[in-house]
Amino acid sequence: MCQLLGMNCNVPTDICFSFEGFRTRGGLTDVHKDGWGIAFFEGPGCRVFIDVEPSAQSPVAELVRHYPIRSKNVIAHIRKATQGRIALENTHPFQRELWGRYWIFAHNGNLKNFAPILDGSFMPVGDTDSELAFCWLLQRLRVEFGHAMPLRKPMFEFLTDITHEIAAHGEFNFLLSNGNCLYAHCGSKLAYIVRQAPFATAHLKDQDVSVDFSEVTSADDRVTLVATLPLTDNEDWITMTPGTLTLFHDGLPVMNASTA
Amino acid sequence: MCQLLGMNCNVPTDICFSFEGFRTRGGLTDVHKDGWGIAFFEGPGCRVFIDVEPSAQSPVAELVRHYPIRSKNVIAHIRKATQGRIALENTHPFQRELWGRYWIFAHNGNLKNFAPILDGSFMPVGDTDSELAFCWLLQRLRVEFGHAMPLRKPMFEFLTDITHEIAAHGEFNFLLSNGNCLYAHCGSKLAYIVRQAPFATAHLKDQDVSVDFSEVTSADDRVTLVATLPLTDNEDWITMTPGTLTLFHDGLPVMNASTA
């Protein structure tokens, strides 16, 4: 299994504090040592850092930890390989372009007997069930909506349907973003927290590190963090209901639907 | 204008030495300070580092300089913006997936009155002539060859034709790779060197740094470097003829055609 971390905000925010705790689960406080990755949207642009080294030791993770990249949408993943060998092409998050936007996807779970028929518009490079699910999902979106990005509501409804179909094949927790909003599907395990004024001090679960958010934020800032397991031990994370797709925008959950 | 750097080898090789000289042209020894990027293939997997900071000062460039990523195909670019503002989405190299392989593209030049009709299969995210040319090129390849990667020869011939068409719109130096080989088009300015046994000492043009390749290579290693301008001042770089597309594989030029 793997672990997911996502962030969605109303102003570009750095994820250094959360990443600090998350990365130690890749080989130090937990067993997810088969590679890791993180994608930052900056406007429509996106940069993806991936590495097959455990995130607790990776020089690239060291950079990410110290280089405060400010982003409104971030998706990170640490891997414990289930399907697909340890290789760069099997390392999440995955990136594709659709409708002139980059799309980023990371998956935690395991899909069985999942062999959708691809039309060639999006093909996996590696051999994970995760990348296959991502390609299938994008193909379905393109077939459904043609060559222009749909409005938020029909897009969310259609994504709920596809997610329901794919989730029939097994555990399917995922994070998906196009840089504008963050889709989070809780198949079995996912939690989130909205941080907004009045900001308080948060303390990491995986390391004895605290940050007083009131010192580093403005009154209007709003930040949602989504993670497989809560990252802090003194805040009230909301456990998501298995079989739920949630859309986050500007740091708030704005749509919610059952995929069960 | 921009500068290009490419590497194609028969064994995975690190590009640290060449990158050391190249990066200083991004704001230190030369004016290309509007962002930079580098893509490394590791098998079919690929990682792309891009940054809008000048490469001479970028913390990401600092990482790349010290972290010896071994790769058979590398494409790097430092940008002096002509079309498209300074933004992450306009930073080369660009990445897309076609036929289940990642494709990486970087361009030096300026295309005018270039407005091909895109069918939506590959759409630019930013607003550069370069990303538009890349999308158009991939669309043409998909239309021509369908959903399976063609053999090397028909692929090279068709690419020569498309390049000829695009180059009619202006300066079009580019590097393109799918991780297996490197296509280099000299529209106006590009040079290359093949390093192989007996290896000697090379000295950078942009900095007083030397490396004795005989100490860090094996007898069978073969490395081609392609760059807008030679990176060393004590080796015989081959100046490519304007209007020539060259295919490099396993560190050697294996095909060559006129695009004039």
Nearest to A238 by CA among A73, A164, A246, A213: A246
- A46 catalytic, yes or no? no
Give the H/E segment covering residue A21.
helix A16-24
Nearest CA distance, B81 vs chain A (angstrom): 16
Mutation target vs B (from A94, A105, A121; most B CBs, 10 A cutoff) = A121
**Continuous H helices in chain B:** 16-24, 59-66, 129-145, 152-167, 213-216
pLDDT in the model for residue A1? 66
Neighbour count for residue B206 (Cβ, 10 Å): 18
Active-site residue, selected from the candidate residues A2, A9, A135, A186:
A2
B43–A87 CB contact, under 8 Å: yes
Q: What is the CATH number of the domain that holds B210?
A: 3.60.20.10
| Integer Cα distance of A6 and A15 in angstroms | 9
Nearest CA distance, B64 vs chain A (angstrom): 9
Phi-psi category of residue A115: left, alpha or beta, with phi > 0 → left and psi -120 to 50 → alpha: beta
Nearest CA distance, A116 vs chain B (angstrom): 15
Q: Among all chains, which residue has been given the structure tokens 């067993």?
A: A31
Nearest CA distance, B236 vs chain A (angstrom): 35
List the pLDDT tens digit at each of the 260 positions of chain A.
Answer: 689 999 999 999 998 888 888 888 876 777 778 889 999 999 999 999 999 988 888 888 888 888 889 999 999 999 887 788 899 999 999 999 999 999 999 999 999 999 999 999 999 999 999 999 999 999 999 999 998 999 999 999 999 999 999 999 999 999 999 999 999 999 999 999 999 999 989 998 888 888 888 888 888 999 999 999 999 999 999 999 999 999 999 999 999 999 99
| Integer Cα distance of A96 and A33 in angstroms | 25
Return the ∠ at Cα B103 (arms to B63 and B65), rounded to 5°: 15
* Token couple for B202: 């090379």
Report, as ranges of residue numbers, the positions in chain B whose pLDDT lies below 70. Answer: 1, 27
Average pLDDT, chain B: 93
pLDDT in the model for residue B37? 95
Hey, is the C-beta of A198 within 8 angstroms of any chain B C-beta?
no
* Token couple for B55: 């490469």
A159 alpha-carbon distance from chain centroid: 16
Q: Among all chains, which residue has been given the structure tokens 């392609």?
A: B226
Contact (Cβ atoms closer than 8 angstroms) between residue B218 and residue B26: no
Neighbour count for residue A112 (Cβ, 10 Å): 9
Cis status, amide bond into A54, omega within 30 of 0: no
A45–B89 CB contact, under 8 Å: yes
> Who among A45, A88, A121 is closest to B45 (CB)?
A88
The DSSP code sequence of B176-220 is EE-SS-EEEEESS--EEEEEESSP-EEEBSSSS-EEEHHHH--TT
pLDDT in the model for residue B65? 84
> Who among B46, B59, B97 is closest to A96 (CB)?
B97
Mutation target vs B (from A36, A46, A47, A180; most B CBs, 10 A cutoff) = A47
**Residues 6+ positions from A161 with CB-CB distance below 8 Å:** none
B170-196: pLDDT as tens digits: 999 999 999 999 999 999 999 999 999
B89–A44 CB contact, under 8 Å: yes
pLDDT in the model for residue A168? 97
- If you measure CA to CA, which chain B residue comes closest to A87? B45
Nearest to A194 by CA among A226, A239, A231, A240: A226
pLDDT in the model for residue A10? 97
Nearest to A74 by CA among A100, A48, A36: A48
Nearest CA distance, A137 vs chain B (angstrom): 15
pLDDT in the model for residue A254? 98
Neighbour count for residue B27 (Cβ, 10 Å): 19
Range of the domain at B244: 3-258
pLDDT in the model for residue B59? 87
Written as one letter, the residue type at B171 is E
> Who among A63, A119, A120 is closest to B59 (CB)?
A63
Number of domains into which chain B is organized: 1
Distances (CA, A) of B235 to A133, B4, B10, B158, B231: 49, 18, 20, 33, 9
Hey, is the C-beta of B122 within 8 angstroms of any chain A C-beta?
yes
Distances (CA, A) of B60 to A47, A49, A255, B57, B157: 11, 10, 36, 9, 37
- If you measure CA to CA, which chain B residue comes closest to A103? B125
All residues of chain A having their beta carbon less than 8 Å from the beta carbon of residue B98 are 123
- If you measure CA to CA, which chain B residue comes closest to A60? B63
